[in-house]
Amino acid sequence: MKKIEQTLLSMFRSRNNFKYGVDKISVDDETKSIFYYNYGYLVFAKTIKADNKEIVYFCLPSFDGYLSNTTKSRVNTFLYEYGFCIQQKNYKYFCNDIDVKLDTIYFINKNDDGKYYIDGGKLC
């Protein structure tokens, strides 16, 4: 993991506002939400509800129809925390073998066994 990615993850975990180049972490204390932006596009977010349940979601923003290597690397930094990874095969993107589309929001949920799974598919 690159040093900037380690810093981003650390700032995200500690819920600190942070900006460096094209990367930005924004904290909203009122809604207990934290957002990660790359090139101005929302890429990863987490909200903690009143019952301490987490709502986690991500989006793979496209740049001229493709996902930049930088954005893919950055989003993977956050997804690794939940056991997921974005990969590209035959011009398609996959998150742990689940076909994912660009410019689409996916939620990370936890089942009764404590395992995370991907849900969603709404346009960003």
How do residues 33-74 score in pLDDT, each as one tens digit?
999 999 999 999 999 988 888 999 999 999 888 888 889 999
Q: How far is it, in rounded angstroms, from Cα 110 to Cα 88? A: 25
Q: What is the pLDDT of residue 51?
A: 86
Report the pLDDT averaged over residues 9-13: 96
Residue pair 77/95 in contact by the 8 Å Cβ criterion: no
- Name the CA dihedral angle for 79, 60, 98, 88, rounded to a multiple of 10 degrees: -100
| pLDDT score for 123 | 67
Decide which of 32 and 123 is more confident: 32
pTM of the entire predicted model: 0.90
19 pLDDT higher than 90 = yes
* Residues 91-114: tens digit of each pLDDT: 899 999 899 999 999 999 998 898
Does residue 24 register a pLDDT over 80?
Answer: yes
Q: Is the pLDDT of residue 124 over 70?
A: no
Are 97 and 50 a contacting pair, CB within 8 Å?
no
Nearest to 62 by CA among 120, 105, 102, 121: 102
Confidence of residue 120 (pLDDT cuts 50, 70, 90): confident
